[in-house]
Amino acid sequence: MPELPDITVYIEALETRVLGQTLEAVRVVSPFLLRTAIPPLAEASGKKVLQLRRLGKRICIGLEGDLWLVLHLMIAGRVHWHPLGTKPSRPKVSPPRGLACFDFSNGSLLWTEAGSQKRASLHVVSGEAGLRSLDPGGLEVLDATPEQFAARLLSANHTLKRALTDPRLFSGIGNSYSDEILWEAELSPLALTQKLTVPEIKRLFEAICSSLTQWTDRLRVEAAAKFPEKVTAFREGMAVHGRYKLPCPRCGTKIQRIRYASNETNYCPTCQTGGKLLADRALSRLLREDWPRSLDELDLLLIPKPSS
In terms of pLDDT, which residue wins out, 300 or 180?
Answer: 180
What architecture is domain 148-290?
Orthogonal Bundle (1.10)
Quote the percentage of the chain above a pLDDT of 90.
75
The predicted pLDDT at position 94 comes to 42
- Where residue 96 falls among pLDDT bands split at 50, 70, 90? low
The predicted pLDDT at position 31 comes to 83
User: How far is 100 from 204, CA to CA, in rounded Å?
Assistant: 39
Q: Three-state DSSP class for 267?
A: strand
- Where residue 284 falls among pLDDT bands split at 50, 70, 90? low
Element holding 59 (H helix, E strand): strand 58-63
Kindly tell me if the per-residue pLDDT of 181 is higher than 50: yes
User: How far is 247 from 32, CA to CA, in rounded Å?
Assistant: 42
Which whole number is the average pLDDT over 140-148? 98
Kindly tell me if the per-residue pLDDT of 85 is higher than 90: no
User: How far is 74 from 117, CA to CA, in rounded Å?
Assistant: 10
E strand residue ranges, 238-298:
256-260, 263-267
List helix spans (H) across 154-197: 160-165, 175-185
Which amino acid makes up residue 19? L
The predicted pLDDT at position 306 comes to 46
Please give the mean pLDDT across all residues of the chain: 89
The predicted pLDDT at position 90 comes to 46
Phi, psi (deg, nearest 5) at residue 205: -60, -45
Q: Enumerate the domain spans of the chain.
A: 4-132, 148-290
Kindly tell me if the per-residue pLDDT of 287 is higher than 80: no
Which whole number is the average pLDDT over 171-175? 94
User: How far is 2 from 212, CA to CA, in rounded Å?
Assistant: 13
In terms of pLDDT, which residue wins out, 2 or 283?
Answer: 2
User: Residues 249, 233: contact at Cβ < 8 Å?
Assistant: no
CATH homologous superfamily for the domain 4-132? MutM-like, N-terminal (3.20.190.10)
Q: Three-state DSSP class for 16?
A: helix
User: Residues 11, 59: contact at Cβ < 8 Å?
Assistant: yes
User: How far is 208 from 269, CA to CA, in rounded Å?
Assistant: 20
In terms of pLDDT, which residue wins out, 91 or 144?
Answer: 144
Which whole number is the average pLDDT over 241-263? 91
Kindly tell me if the per-residue pLDDT of 30 is higher than 70: yes
Chain centroid, CA 237 distance in Å = 17
Element holding 297 (H helix, E strand): helix 295-302
User: Residues 64, 18: contact at Cβ < 8 Å?
Assistant: no
User: How far is 269 from 292, CA to CA, in rounded Å?
Assistant: 12
- Where residue 294 falls among pLDDT bands split at 50, 70, 90? low
